[in-house]
Structure 1
Amino acid sequence: MVLRLSYMVWDAVFLCFDVTEKMGLLRMLSWAYQKWQHAVDQGFCTNSTPLIYLLGLKKDLRMECSFEDHRLAMETGLTVGSPSCCVNPRDTYPAWTSAKPHLATSGNFNGVYKLRSSKSLVKNKCPLNRHAQPRESLINIIKLSRLVLQQQGCKLTSDGDHRTEMITSAALMAGIVAIAVVCGALVSLLVYFLRSWSLVILIILTGFVGICICVTTRHIQLTQSRRSRVWPSQPHPGGPSPPRLSEDYYLFVLGSGGHTKEMLMMMDDGTRDFAGTHRRYLISSGDDMSQNHLEDYETELKASSAAPGTYDTRIVTRARRVHQPLWSTPWTGLMSFLDIFPVLLLPPSADGGRKPKPRHYPGIIFSNGPATGFFVALAVHTLKMLGLVPEDRMRFVYIESWARISTLSLTGKLLFYTGLADAFYVQHEEVAGRYGLVNAREMVFNARRIE
C-alpha cells in the first residue's frame, strides 16, 4: 500500500492508530522509509518525501513519553520531528532536532524521546512562535459562546433564575395540556350536538392548520434568533472574559467511525481545568468502541488533572447503523429521538448521585457528525418550541468532522439547511468557503499545539 501511494506526489500522509511500543514505531517508520526510497530509486517520485502525521489517543506512545503534542511530525526523510508546542528547535537545539529512523538504533531513538520529554516540561518558559496561531478547542468554543451571548444581550441564568424558569416552563406545559383537553371536549360536544361529521371534520382541519401555523411561526422565530448571532472564529483579543458560572454542565454526542476519537481530541485545550463542570456523554447502543475510548480518556484525565470535574454516560438507540437499509431508518430514528429526551431533561448528579447539581439543563451540546447528533438537535429544538427549556440553555454547537475536506456530511447538511444548530464550525477552508461557514481550522490538533 505504501509503495502504491508513493507513486503519487503527497504533501502529507496521516496514519491514524495508537502506538504503544517504541520499537514498533521504529520498525514501522523504517519500513515506510524503505518503500518510499525504493520508489525514489525507481523514478516514481521525487526525492522530497511527505510529512507523516501520526494520530492517536493520549494513552499512546507520545503521552507515555510525556510528549505534549497530539501529532508526531516526521520531517523530510521521515525524521523524527521536534515538539511544536515550544520554540523552533532548528534554531535553538539543532543537536536533538531529529534522528533518521532507518539509521537510528534503539538507544538514540529513546534518547531523542527523553530529550523531547524534558523540553516539554519547560514548555511554559519557552517563547512561542510569533507567527503561530492557536487552534480552536471545545473549551475555547465554550468561552466564545458565553462571550457572544453576553455581547448580544442574552442573559446567562443563575440558579435562582433557573428555578423561576422551571416553574414558568411547568406552568406553560400545564397550559398547553389544559388547552388540548378543552379542545378535545369542544370537539366531542360538537359531534354530540351537531351530528354533522362534515362540519366536525372541517373544524378539526381548521384547528390542524392553525397548529401548523403556530409551529411554523415558532420554528422561524427560533432559527432567525440563532442566525442573528455572529459567531467569530476567535474570541475578541483583549475583550472582557464572560463570568464563569458556579456550575457548568455540557453534553457531548459521541459516535462510531472516528467521531469519538475526534471529540476527545478536541476537548482538551491543554489546561485540563474542568473544575466545577459536569460532562455528560451520549453514546449510541452497540457502540462499545466509543465506550472503551471514553473510559480510557476519563481515567487518564482523572490521573493527570487536579480538577477533572464529574461525568456520566447515557445510552440511546442508534439512529442508523452502518449499511442499515434506508427503509428501516425512520423507525430506529424515531426510537433514538424518543430516547434523547430523558438524556436532555434529567439533571446530573454529584457525589455519586446523592445530591443533584444546581444545573438542570446542559448549557452547551457538542456534536461532530454522527447521525444521532441531528436527532439531539431536533429534540432540543422541539423542547424550545414548546417553551419547556430556556433559550439560553442547550446551545447546540456542531463541529463538522475533520474528515470532511470539501463538502458537509449528511448530518451537517441537515443541520445547515434546517438551521437547528446555534453555532456551526468546519475544519477546512474549502468547506467554509463553499457554505459560508466559520473555519475553526484543524480542531483535532487542538489548542495544546501551537504552530
Structure 2
Amino acid sequence: MEKSTGRFFSNSSSSLGITCFIAFITIIVLRVIYVIYRTGKPPNKRSPPQALSTLIVLGSGGHTAEMINLLLVLQKDRFAPRFYIAAATDNMSLQKARVLENSWADSQSGVKGISAEFMQIYRSREVGQSYVTSVWTTLVATVHALWLMIKIRPQVVLCNGPGTCFPLCVIAFIFKVIGIRWSSIFYVESIARVKKLSLSGLLLYKLQIADQFFVQWPQLQRKYPRAHYVGCLM
C-alpha cells in the first residue's frame, strides 16, 4: 500500500512537472508569436512625442560612415539620450561619433557630450573569421551584450550590418518577449550589399527580429519582399 501511494505521488509530481513545462513553453511560444505579429506595427494609441533612448551600433569600414550619414538627418531631440556601441577593437568609429556629438553640442548649447555615451563590446565575428570559431565568440559577445542591454534598456536600436549588432538585437528581441522593454529595431542594410544581404542582415530578416528592415537596392527588395527599399542613402 505504501509503495503504491509513493508511486502515485511520484507519478503525480512527474505529470505536474511536465504540465508546468509544457505550459511554460506554450506561453513563451505565444509571446514570441505576439512579438513577431506586433513587430513593425504602429502603437494602437496616439501618444505625445517624447524622447526615446536610442542605441546606435557602429561598425568598422564603411558601416560607421553610412551610420553617420543617417544620423545627420536624425531628429536629435526625439532620439535621446544616444548610446553608441562599437567593437572593442574599433576605436576609430567611436572617435567619429564623438566628433559628431561634439559638433551638435557646439551648435546648440556649447556643452559637449551632454546627451551621448560611448561604449565598446566584444565582437561576435571578426572579418574573415570562420563560422565555426565565431560560435564561441558570438556566445561571449551575447553575454556582454546582455549586460550592456540591461544597463541601457534602449527604446530604439539603429544598426546597419556590423556583426556587433546581432547579439544586441537578439537581446532586445528577448526583452520584448519577456516584457522587460519594447525596443524598436531599425536595420538599414549597407549600400555595399547589392545582390545579397550581409550575414547580420540575413539573420535579422529570416528570424523577423528587426521591426523595420531597409535596403538600398531595388533588387534586394524584390528578393526579400519584407524589406523596404529607400534608395541609396550615401
| TM bracket, shorter-chain basis | 0.7 to 0.9
- What does residue 147 of structure 2 align with? 342
The aligned residue for residue 442 of structure 1 is 232
Residue 265 (structure 1) aligns with: 69
Please, which runs of 5 or more residues in structure 1 have no aligned partner? 1-192, 231-240, 348-360, 445-451
Change (3 A) 1:333 1:202: farther
Tell me the percent identity: 25
Distance 1:439 1:331, change over 3 A: same
Aligned match of 1:284: 87
- Matched to 2:31, the amino acid is R
Q: Tell me how large the CA RMSD over aligned residues is.
A: 2.9
Specify the alignment match of 1:224 in structure 2. Answer: 37
Residue number among 11, 28, 36 corresponding to 1:215 in the alignment: 28
Tell me the CA shift for residue 311 of structure 1: 0.2
Q: Decide whether aligned partners of structure 1 residues 305 and 396 sit closer, same or farther in structure 2, where only a CA change above 3 A counts.
A: same
Determine the C-alpha separation between the residues in 2 that align with 1:216 and 1:417. Answer: 17
Q: How does 1:96-135 map to 2 (within 5 A)?
A: none
Which amino acid in structure 2 is aligned with residue 259 of structure 1?
A: H
- Which residue in the other structure is 2:127 paired with? 322
Q: Per the alignment, in what secondary structure is the counterpart of residue 81 of structure 2? A: strand
2:197, 2:108 → 1: CA distance? 35
- Structure of larger gyration radius: 1
Q: State the partner residue of 2:162.
A: 370
- On the 8 A contact 1:370/1:411 being kept in 2, the answer is yes
Q: Conserved in 1, the CA contact under 8 Å of 2:52 and 2:156?
A: no
1:406 to 173, 180, 195: 195
- 2:91 and 2:10 mapped to 1: Cα distance? 54
Helix, strand or coil at the partner of 1:420: coil
Flag the 1:419–1:304 CA change in 2: closer, same or farther, 3 A: same
Q: Name the SS of the counterpart of 1:371 in structure 2.
A: coil
Amino acid at match of 1:288: N
Task: Report the CA distance between 1:327 and its aligned residue.
Answer: 2.2
- Give the conservation status (yes or no) of the 8 Å contact 1:424–1:438: yes
Residue 273 of structure 1 contacts residue 306 of structure 1 at CA under 8 Å; is this kept in 2?
no
Instruction: Tell me which moved more, 306-315 or 335-344.
Output: 306-315
The match for 1:101 is: none
Query: Which residue pairs with 1:71 in the alignment?
Result: none
Alignment of 1:38-437 (within 5 A): 207-226=20-39, 229=41, 243-245=48-50, 247-269=51-73, 274-275=76-77, 277-306=80-109, 310-347=115-152, 361-389=153-181, 391=182, 394-436=183-225, 437=227
Residue 222 of structure 1: how far off its partner (Å): 0.8
Judge conservation of contact 1:251–1:281 (CA < 8 Å) in 2: yes
Task: Check conservation: 1:285, 1:317, Cα contact below 8 A.
Answer: yes
* Alignment size in residue pairs: 222
Partners of 1:205 and 1:438 in 2: CA distance: 43
Q: Which runs of 5+ in 2 are unaligned?
A: 1-5
Q: Distance in 1 between matches of 2:185 and 2:201?
A: 13
Residues of 2 paired with 1:205 and 1:266: CA distance?
50
1:372 to 1:201, Cα distance in 2 relative to 1, 3 A: farther
Task: Give me the whole-angstrom Cα distance separating, in 2, the residues matched to 1:274 and 1:306.
Answer: 13
Which letter does structure 1 place at the counterpart of 2:88?
S
Distance between the aligned counterparts of 2:135 and 2:17, measured in 1? 27
Is the 8 Å Cα contact of residues 397 and 423 (structure 1) preserved in structure 2? yes
- Structure 1 counterpart of 2:98, one-letter code: E
Structure 2: distance between partners of 1:273 and 1:418: 29
Give distance in 1, aligned partners of 2:52 and 2:8.
Answer: 57
Distance 1:250 1:315 in 2: 16
